[in-house]
Amino acid sequence: MRPKVFVSRIIPDAGLDRVRAACEADIWLGEMPPPYDTLCERVRGVDGLLCTLNDRIDAGLMEAAGSQLKVISQMAVGYDNIDVAAAKTRGIQIGNTPGVLTDATADLAFALLLAAARRLMEGIEYIKGGQWKTWQPKALLGGDLTGATLGIIGLGRIGKAVARRAAGFEMRILAHSPSCSPQEAAKVGATLVDMEMLLRESDYVSLHVPLNSQTRGLINRETLTLMKPTAVLVNTTRGPVVDQQALYEALTQGIIGGAALDVTDPEPLPADHPLLELPNVIIVPHIGSATHRTRDKMATMAADNLIAGVMGQPLPNPVWT
């Protein structure tokens, strides 16, 4: 009998075809993710679950699935939506999709940085609003990248890829990353410093830490106050790494200069959220990994983790070994 799996969203065919070929697959066809209670019902009796960052995967869900559940395969690199301890206790393997989205996410972080520095959104609104009358010597002036300081918090795969891009723009690169050695940082042109120095000296600060109990609210009233009044904060990791109320206050009180966010708390951000009113804020809908090639690779990796897990084999990309 083929293993039974539940796939919580329609993922790219590159992955879905593999799942369908190897498993008895129940696939959620909705545009919105399944509500938690529905997810609990649909996973009952499955051997494997392929899920996304939208799904809350906790002990209750694992109980609802039953003791035959062998693997949870997340189609993302981040897995803060999954109760890892609960899965470990039950002997359930967890897989994720590291590496394949590094460049796409670093590209987006850089696109946001450039867009904020050069006020692209304001320029677009200026034209659409009919305000563009002539070339203006003093209109829409932004910040330079060349020679400016970029502070990278979290010099892992994506942080390093951002540093490589920044080196091409001849930026000075500071990084704060407790698990990285100075030699490793130097390979991407970055100098390791403490968090306070990074925040005080950076013109742009880009966040690349995973969301966990240590990083939740890492950027808060206190840390924002250390930043330059002209500094731009870029977040492409997870919304709750930033205390959003503190960010709103910092942006409206001139404590920092701007923010460019791919991630928010909550997601989606309500259309009437005050942050969306601010001219010095750019927000895009969690699209860091959203390229055709990257999403195909993520779907393929997630499928391979799922299939290995239901077959009782080690996962190609386990969250722990």
Residue numbers annotated as active site: 238, 267, 286
From residue 196 to residue 215, what is the string marking binding to ligand DGY with x (rule CB under 6 A)? --------------------
Min CB(236)–ligand DGY separation in Å: 8
- The residue (of 149 and 215) whose beta carbon lies closer to ligand DGY is 215
106 Cβ contact list (under 8 Å, min separation 6): 158, 161, 162, 164, 165
Compute CA distances 76 → 101, 212, 247, 294, whole Å.
9, 15, 26, 11
Give the closest residue to 202 by CA, choosing from 264, 278, 256.
256
* Inter-helix orientation angle 157-168/102-117, to 10°: 50
Q: Work out how close the CB of 226 gets to ligand DGY at its nearest, in angstroms, rounded to a whole number.
A: 26
Which residues 84-113 are close enough to bind ligand DGY by CB under 6 A? 101
Residue (244 or 289) nearer to ligand DGY, CB = 289
| 11, 77, 92, 303: which one binds ligand DGY (CB under 6 A) | 77
- Which amino acid belongs to residue 305? N
Count of residues that interact with ligand DGY, criterion CB under 6 A: 7
Report the nearest approach of ligand DGY to the CB of residue 211 (Å). 9
Q: Are the CB atoms for 83 and 58 separated by under 8 Å?
A: yes
Q: Does residue number 288 form part of the binding site for ligand DGY (CB under 6 A)?
A: yes
Give dist(CA 159, CA 201) in Å, integer. 18
Say whether residue 154 binds ligand DGY (CB under 6 A): no
- When the beta carbons of 99 and 217 are compared against ligand DGY, the nearer one is 99
User: According to CB under 6 A, which one of 78, 151, 159, 257 is a site residue for ligand DGY?
Assistant: 78
**Phi and psi, residue 195, nearest 5°:** -60, -40
Q: Should residue 289 be labelled a site residue for ligand DGY when binding is judged by CB under 6 A?
A: yes
Q: Is the Cβ of residue 143 or residue 239 nearer to ligand DGY in the bound state?
A: 239
Residue 16 sits at φ, ψ, to 5 deg, of -60, -40
- Shortest Cβ 243–ligand DGY spacing (Å): 19
Stretch 37-56 residues interacting with ligand DGY (CB under 6 A): 53
Distance CA 5, CA 43 (A): 8
- Alpha-carbon span 140 to 115, nearest angstrom: 12
Contacts to ligand DGY by CB under 6 A: 53, 76-78, 101, 288-289
